[in-house]
Structure 1
Amino acid sequence: MAYEFKIERTASPKAKESLQGSVFGTRFTDHMFILDYDKGQGWHDGRIVPYQPIMLDPAAKVFHYGQTIFEGLKAYLTADGRVLLFRPRSNIKRMNLSNIRMSIPTLDEELFLEALRQLLVVERDWVPSEEGTSLYVRPFVIATQATLGVSPSHQYKFMIILSPVGAYYSEGVNPVSIYVESGYVRAVPGGVGEAKTAGNYAAGLQAQEEATAKGYSQVLWLDGVERKYIEEVGSMNVFFVIGDKVVTPVLNGSILHGITRDSVLQMLKHWGYEVEERQLSMQEVADAHRSGELKEAFGTGTAAVISPIGELYWQEKAMTLNGGRTGELSQRLYDELTGLQRGEKEDPFGWTVELKG
């Protein structure tokens, strides 16, 4: 099925400046994609328009009941001038899982991919070429029906905006320090923890502020029932190298199904590593650190890709990992994954998709 979208080009293109030293997600391209939904009509009226504010009724359900979901993926410029996307079909599949959990109508996969393709064709010159940069893609859905009744909306907007970005953390690929949160709870199985919905992130902001005040980059969440089992970092899934094994928390209904997480798991198995997806307590990690069995740890996510962990703070004690340096496996994964994403290394998994048009 061919999808035709109206295109309105901006009359005032923005200047494209260097991303060196810029804060992640603070610059946006000239255009965005919008698609409307009305009950009984379905998704309709797809269009590419100049990047602009949107007008919503103050009673729009997104403001009152948090009915919204989002995704994140990246486009990369290769040395020979091609633009590559990384596993975009995985993003729309996960987006629809979030839609279902939040009672939002699902989107046709091919419509999503074609909307993304056409927007990227219009904005191709915005894909940055500086080392370590990419064009961050943020698709999202908001409930727009203007009524205060507690029920799923009958109207929605699906949008895609684009942001040229550098490193997510100011540390880049250097190790970050992580505060283990034992008081606040972000999500529990049966809730919406595995959906990429705004409330999950709002629930973590207070803990993040407190961790930042203590000098830590991110929060590591423990399970919401016993407060002992590791779940994920606020913006990343997490892996630990314990002895000769790589261990990551098993997906349990309150942990995001990370696409980079899945990619790392496949890469590790491809390389012959022994990998365990299982319940992992913070006490086990502390014991492994004490015995010298904890070799390194790292986070994985679209924004950060691979982020080595140099320090964990738990129960009033700081644990330095690998001497506070980037671990060998973290570095290898970062180099291989970013090299694959940029078309510099062979892609044995068929993950990269070249932009056509």
Structure 2
Amino acid sequence: MGYALGETKFRFRAEFVEGKWQEGALTDDKFIHIHEASNVFHYGQALFEGLKAYKTKEGKIQLFRPELNFIRMNQSLRRLVMPELSEELFFKAITEVVKANKDDIPEYGKGQSLYIRPFAIGKGMNLGVKPSEEYIFSVFCNPVGVYFAGGLRALDFVTTDFDRASANGTGQVKVAGNYAASLYPRQQAIDAGYAGVIYLDPSTHSKIDEVGAANFFGITHDNVLVTPKSSSILPSITKRSILYIAEHMLGMKVEERECLIDNISEFKEAGACGTAAIITPIGSITHKGNKHVFSTEVGPTIKKLYDTLVGIYYGDIEAPEGWIREIK
């Protein structure tokens, strides 16, 4: 896999003390010094978001639908009984970090971007199983390349008997524990020669849920874009955008419904989507030793979706209203 191209100098930090979030400020300190009994180490009060800044041909710096990241971060905070962020604090942090590190934003035409990572953790002495009384909210960033090395190409995935999250657990929020649980099955897949895993629904293991840390979608033989509907799936901003692009810009029918693993032949193309992966074509899925091949090449519909989405990212295609926030 590709990805981080280097570190940046500045990040933003704010603390929650005495019942309220402090104003916060930029810092060049890459390290966080906290008590060994902090909740983040023992009871997992930790969550994050991911978004990107892109540089256009004209040199403008723009974010893609960051309001949805703000909404989703507060959903995660509520789920872990952590104090919510104000819109003002969230966007102050994002804006100051992007501006302070603007020289590290990759130039237009390289297919690269500035990945922005807001996160929040519980801190302070706490040995009881209860929410922290103090928290840190921070935002840092790194210039990044493509998530999967080799660019846009079809990759092979395999199903796993492990679950990423339970039906009524934390699958719909972006908490750190979800990713810790995914490391072992992911490593098993990579060791076996696959790009990653396909998670099935935790209740019956008969329906596709997600593709590693990304959302799944498929294109049926009659050109319908389908994504799984499940209570344990993270609501992907990229997936939501792809559904809109398919329906309103490419004239396709879209559906959110169950995707049975034993019926994947209904799809002529399949892909994974997310902030990091953008759109990654799935060449094959191996399930219980049986390999179903979609295509060894990038399918035409996935290519259209990818080109349209990336065109919006970099300002080459006009975005739907409200999708772009320019950093000036």
In structure 1, which of residues 182, 205, 209 is the aligned counterpart of residue 183 of structure 2? Answer: 205
What is the match of residue 37 of structure 1?
16
Label 1:179 to 1:355 Cα distance change in 2 as closer, same or farther (>3 A): same
Cα drift, residue 50 of structure 1: 0.4
Post-superposition Cα deviations, 1:74-115, rounded to whole Å, max 9, x if no partner, equal: 000111111010001000000000111111110001221122
2:323 match = 351
Shift of 1:241: 1.1
* Distance (whole Å) between structure 1 residues aligned to residue 126 and residue 162 of structure 2: 32
Which residue number in structure 2 is paired with residue 19 of structure 1? none
Match of 1:107 in 2: 85
Distance (whole Å) between structure 2 residues aligned to residue 46 and residue 348 of structure 1: 33
Runs of 4+ with deviation above 2 angstroms:
none
Report the equivalent of 1:218: 196
Distance 1:80 1:226 in 2: 51
Aligned length: 325
Give the secondary structure class of the aligned counterpart of 2:242.
Answer: helix
1:186 touches 1:200 (CA, 8 Å); kept in 2? yes
Which of 342, 347, 356 is 2:314 aligned to?
A: 342
Q: What residue identity is the alignment partner of 2:40?
A: V
1:279 alignment partner AA: E
CA shift for structure 1 position 171: 2.8
2:217 maps to 1:239: yes
Q: Deviations over 1:249-295 (max 9, x none)?
A: 01x3210000000000111110221111011110111xx2xxxx421
**Partner of residue 277, structure 1:** 256
- The residue that corresponds to 2:288 in the other structure is 315
Q: Does 1:325 align with 2:304?
A: no
1:92 to 45, 51, 70: 70
Structure 1 unaligned spans of 5+: 1-21
Picking from 108, 126, 134, the partner of 2:113 is 134
CA offset digits 1:301-321 (Å, max 9, x no partner): 001111111111111022211
- Note the C-alpha offset of 1:26: 5.9
Confirm or deny: 8 A CA contact 1:134 1:165 kept in the other structure: yes
Letter in 2 for 1:273: M
Quote the Cα distance in structure 2 between the aligned partners of 1:177 and 1:277. 23
Partner of 1:303: helix, strand, or coil? coil
Sequence identity percentage: 39
How far, CA to CA, are the matches of 2:9 and 2:2 in structure 1? 18
- The 1-side partners of 2:212 and 2:176 are apart by 12
TM-score (norm 1): 0.89
C-alpha separation between the residues in 1 aligned to 2:152 and 2:87?
33
Match of 2:131 among 135, 141, 152: 152
User: Normalized against structure 2, the TM-score is what?
Assistant: 0.96
- 1:246–1:273 contact (8 Å) kept in structure 2: yes
Determine if contact 1:29/1:51 at 8 Å carries over to the other structure. no
